[in-house]
Amino acid sequence: MKDITIDYALRATWQAVTKMYNEEARKFGSTMAVGFTLLSIDPKTGTPSTALGPKMGMEATSLSRILKSMEKKGLIERKPNPNDGRGVLIHLTAFGLEKRNDSKATVLRFNEVVREHVSDEKLDTFFEVTDIINHLIAEKKIY
């Protein structure tokens, strides 16, 4: 076994993926965070603003800044939630939907390239390991 820790391998890999996505997003005048947000909004029915943070694993203040920026750029619009008079639904604009498709294509291309270089068996093991790690964390068995 190599002398690196599991958390280091996860962190270093995620940082490399983040850097790659941000470099790609920059070509479109965007960021990975905006792309991730676009992909997290239901393109047909919109998404309640209160559901986006937990869905994306983001704090409300960070998400609020991203949503304000996206609204200024014309990517999203806020509409009253018909099921909850106090709530707001985040909807994609036509421009937002176009940029969502760009983000989706980038993610699918990343997955395609990885799948070309990693066997299904190894990917199954990878996903099994990440599921176990997430379960151990959720069950507070790690610390």
Which whole number is the average pLDDT over 85-89?
85
Q: The tokens of 15 are what?
A: 């940082």
10-25 residue pLDDT tens: 999 999 999 999 999 9
pLDDT for 50 equals 87
pLDDT for 85 equals 77
Which whole number is the average pLDDT over 79-107?
92
Rounded to 5°, the CA angle 50-56-62 comes to 70
Eight-class DSSP state of 73: T
What architecture is the 6-138 domain classified under in CATH? Answer: Orthogonal Bundle (1.10)
* CB contact at 8 A, 100 and 39: yes
What share of the chain in percent tops pLDDT 90? 78
38-52 residue pLDDT tens: 999 999 999 998 899
Give yes or no for residue 142 having a pLDDT over 90.
no
Domains of the chain: which residue ranges?
6-138
- Report, in this order, helix, strand and coil percent for the chain, each rounded to 5: 65, 10, 20
pLDDT for 1 equals 54
pLDDT for 87 equals 85
Report strand pairing: 84-92 vs 47-48: antiparallel
What whole-number distance in Å separates Cα of residue 17 and Cα of residue 114?
Answer: 12
For residues 66, 39, 95, 53, the Cα torsion angle rounded to the nearest 10 degrees is -30
- pTM of the model as a whole: 0.85
Q: The tokens of 21 are what?
A: 């996505």
Give yes or no for residue 2 having a pLDDT over 80.
no
